[in-house]
Structure formats: C-alpha cells, structure tokens
Structure 1
Amino acid sequence: MKNFGIMFGKEIKEFLRTYKVFVVPGLFLLFGFTSPIITKVLPSLLSSLAEEINFVLPEMTWVDSYGQFFKNLNQMGILAIILTTMGTIAEERNRGISQLVLTKPVPRTSYVLAKYAANFLPIAFTTVLAFFATWFYTDVLFPDTVFLNGLGATGVYIAYLAVILALVILASAMTKSAIAAGGLTVLGLIILNLLPLFSKALSKYSPAVLADYIYQVAGGTAASGDVWGAIACAAGTVIILLTTASLVFSRKEL
C-alpha cells in the first residue's frame, strides 16, 4: 500500500519517543513478573482471615498463576491501552498534525492502518515478553507448569487485543476529542460483550468470548474448534473495523 511503510516507520519512532513506550509495556512486564509471586503468597496472607471464618483456601497451582496474569491484562492492561491510544487519530486532527501529514501524497487508509500497526505490534510483542516472565516465575514457584497452555492463552489474548485496538482506532477516527473516543470505545466494548447473549453461535464465536477462552486455554479445558472459530471471527471483525475507520476518516474534514 502506497506510503504505508513510511507512515509505519514514522509512527513507530513516535511510539518509542513518547510515554507510550513506558506505560503499556512497563505495566505488562510488571504483571508478568509479579502475578506468579502474588499467586504464591496470597494464601499465606489470607490464611488468618480464612481460619476466622472457617474457610479452607484451595492450594494454588500454575493454572492460578496464569489466571492471575491474564486477569490483570484483561482489566488494567486493557484500560491502559484504551487510555494511551484513544487520541491516536483524534488528537492529531485536533492539533492539525494530520492535516500537515496528509497534505503529502499519503492515502488516508495508509494513515489509519499505520496508526493501528504501530500500536498493535509493540504491545503484542510486549505481551509475549510478559508471558515469558510469568512462565519463568510460575515454573520456579509451582510444580508441573505447562508452557504451551500459557503460550496458547497469550495468542488468544493478542487476538482479543487486536479487536479492542481496532475499536479504539475506529472511535478515534470518528472524533477530534480523545475523551470522546474513549467513551465511544467503552460503548463499543459494552455492545461487543452483549452480542453473545443474542444467539448460541455468537456465544461461541463472538470476539467477546475470547476473554473467556483465554482462561480455558490456559487451564487446558478449551474446545479448540470454538477457540479457532472465535479467532477467525475476531480477524474478520478487525478487518471490518479498520475498513470502517478508513472510510469514516476519509470523509472527515481535517
């Protein structure tokens, strides 16, 4: 695609020069290193409370360690991604930067796709690094840790992340306000999470159910056909969202 490589290089350099290079990667790596440790020490911290209420705490395993890691990524990680990327296009339009960039022979589709790729690839790479940190400490702290389960769950999470980031890019292309883009993203996530309620097929293959499949893959209980079907639907959703973002942005005044 014309000038995509140039735009992608520009966006990567911008990513590395701004706070984004510290916030999301730093947070993900923090979760990677601390999740197994928290899982290991949590029963000891809660033991006295459990004795007072006659509750027996279950023994933590490597599955719980993986679960804690992905729980953190699904909550604080997703929030951090939305907050750091919601102004990706909106803020540049608001400050007139996109107008300067697009006066050159740069197609708006290339502009949108470069924004997406330059945010997605570093975050996906950091997610893999964070998983390796979690796997290493989980393997040290818990017996019989299964590497491939965690790696597969990481792949499912990245597919889920791809959809969310595409939704953020679409929201950012629709407005000149980062706050408004964040609000539209949250609204989109709510709608996305409601879709599985409407049919049995959506409850299996909607991109939203990837959030549940992450834990099932980590624990080795997932139905592989359902997971791959949801990943395929997620890929289609990303294409639709980015195509829509390009069409919307092409009709916007800079």
Structure 2
Amino acid sequence: MSQWLTLFNKEMLEMSRNFKWIWVPIVFILLAVQEPIVQYYLPEIINSLGDLPEGAVIKLPVPSAAEVLMAILGQFNVLGVLIIVLTSMGIIAGERKSGVAALILVKPVSYFSYITAKWASAMLLLWVSYFAGYIFSYYYVVVLFEAVSFSVFLQSFFMNGIWLSFVLTITIFLNSLFRSPGAVGFLSITAILLINMCSSLFVKWFKWSPALLTGYTNQFLLYGEFPREAFPALTLAIISIIVLLLWCVRIFRQKELA
C-alpha cells in the first residue's frame, strides 16, 4: 500500500507541476458557466448586434432549468470529453516513449500499482474538475432560472460522471497499447465516436451502452425519473471500467516484459 501511495503522490505532484490542478478545473468551470449566462442574456445579445428592423422585438422562449442543465452536460460530453482525452493521452504512453516507465519499473514496482495509481490520480482530477464546473453552473441556473432540487443535481452529476469516467478509462487503456500520445488521443476519440454512433443508431441492441447514460440523464432531468435501462447501463459501465483497467495492467505487463 505504501508503494501505491508513493506512486499516487508522484502523479499528484506531477500534475501540480504541470498546472493541471489549476487549468483543468478552470476550463470545466468556464465550459459550464457560459451556458446558463448565454441562454439568459441571449435576447440582449441579439439586440445588441443591431441590423434589426425598427421596432422589431425579439422574444425567445425562456428555457427551463432542466433544459439548461442538459445543455451544460452536453458541453461536458463534447468539449469536456476532448479535455479528458488531451490531459490523459500521454499519462503512460509519454513515460513509455521517454523511458521513464522503464526506469520506474526496474525497481520492485508492481505493474498493478503503477497503472492504478495513474488511473486514480487522473480520475480524481476529472471528478474534482467536473464537480467544480457543474456546481458553479448549478448556482447560476438557480439564480437566473429556477430552483432545482440538490438531489436532482447530485443524481445527474453522478450518472453523467460515470460516462466521463468510462471515457477516461478507455484513454488509459489505449495508453498501454501505444507509445505515441498522439496515436492514443486519435484512437480514443475514434473509439468514443464509434461507441456513441453505434449506441445512437442501434438503440435496440445497445440500450445498456455506457454511451446512453447521457441520454438517460437528460430524461431524468426532464421527467424526474430514470428509464428502466439506466441502471443496467450504469452497472455495465462500472463493470467495463474495472475490466478495462485490469486488462490494461495485463497488456502493459506483457509489453514491458517483452
């Protein structure tokens, strides 16, 4: 356990030196906060652009708090996913390419500890940044639109967060296969797009897909309850995260021993 904590502290220190603990939460906050502010002031923004006929009045329907929260989660599931991939695509591949991984593993360091410490540190950064962004946006939604139950906030936060964790785990897994961070990033985005595409096109066969967690979260925000398929999808996502992580350790061990 002390070995794992040492590796985990090393990752935390490295992320601090790279300022990830500053810029990643800030980016998540900016992604989330701009959505409710823009939606609230959109009529004023359009009027300020000018070139409208004299006497023209723009009246846009005021979105509900649920719709604004859905739009915020949409930002996380597009730009947020891109940030997750960019910040983690070199977490193992970069050290393998530079030879740092070989230097660390020369010592009596467990492959399992090495991989899981990196995964845990990246996961902590993800959840802290995601929570910071979502809680700030929740405040603006309540102030600018209408009150939303905090339990609704927490449930939607957790359900969508599992999908983001799945995305991160895919990227970590691909780190064990390739030495090039660029290849890891490209293939991670490709894999995520394929999973999303198949889940959207073939809902009948992929109704338990982790990619549909975002849609199930949106349904919960709109109607106040999750569909029946949400919890099997959540369970499958958690199982997939564990399997991918264990598989990542096995592949990494084989490649390094080879």
Does TM, normalized by the shorter one, top 0.5?
yes
Give the counterpart of 1:235 among 230, 235, 238: 238
The amino acid that maps onto 1:105 is P
The amino acid that maps onto 1:233 is L
Equivalent residue for 1:226?
229
C-alpha distance in structure 2 between counterparts of 1:37 and 1:194, whole Å: 30
Equivalent residue for 2:149?
146
State the SS of the aligned residue for 2:229: helix
Confirm or deny that 1:70 pairs with 2:79.
no
Q: How does 1:129-144 map to 2 (within 5 A)?
A: 129-144=132-147
State the SS of the aligned residue for 2:90: coil
Superposed CA deviations along residues 18-43 of structure 1, whole A, max 9, x for unmatched, are 13223321111113333221121124
The amino acid that maps onto 1:200 is K
Structure 1 residues 2 and 144: alpha-carbon distance in aligned structure 2, compared to 1, 3 A threshold: closer
> What is the deviation of 1:219?
2.5
Kept in 2: contact 1:173–1:245 (CA 8 A): yes
Equivalent residue for 2:204?
200
Alignment RMSD: 2.5
> What is the deviation of 1:55?
8.9
Equivalent residue for 1:8?
8
Equivalent residue for 2:179?
176
Confirm or deny that 1:215 pairs with 2:210.
no
Kept in 2: contact 1:170–1:242 (CA 8 A): yes
C-alpha distance in structure 1 between counterparts of 2:193 and 2:29, whole Å: 27
> What is the deviation of 1:246?
0.9
Confirm or deny that 1:244 pairs with 2:247.
yes
> What is the deviation of 1:226?
2.1
TM-score (norm 2): 0.88
Aligned residue pairs total 252
C-alpha distance in structure 1 between counterparts of 2:77 and 2:5, whole Å: 31
The amino acid that maps onto 2:233 is A
> What is the deviation of 1:137?
1.4
Equivalent residue for 1:187?
190
C-alpha distance in structure 2 between counterparts of 1:106 and 1:250, whole Å: 11
TM-score (norm 1): 0.89
Superposed CA deviations along residues 26-64 of structure 1, whole A, max 9, x for unmatched, are 111113333221121124334699x98999632222123
Kept in 2: contact 1:24–1:77 (CA 8 A): no
C-alpha distance in structure 1 between counterparts of 2:138 and 2:82, whole Å: 23
Equivalent residue for 1:31?
31
Confirm or deny that 1:82 pairs with 2:85.
yes
Equivalent residue for 1:159?
162
Superposed CA deviations along residues 166-204 of structure 1, whole A, max 9, x for unmatched, are 0000111111100000122122213322443446252x2
Superposed CA deviations along residues 80-128 of structure 1, whole A, max 9, x for unmatched, are 1111110110010111111111111111121111111100112102212
Kept in 1: contact 2:8–2:120 (CA 8 A): yes
Give the counterpart of 1:99 among 94, 99, 102: 102
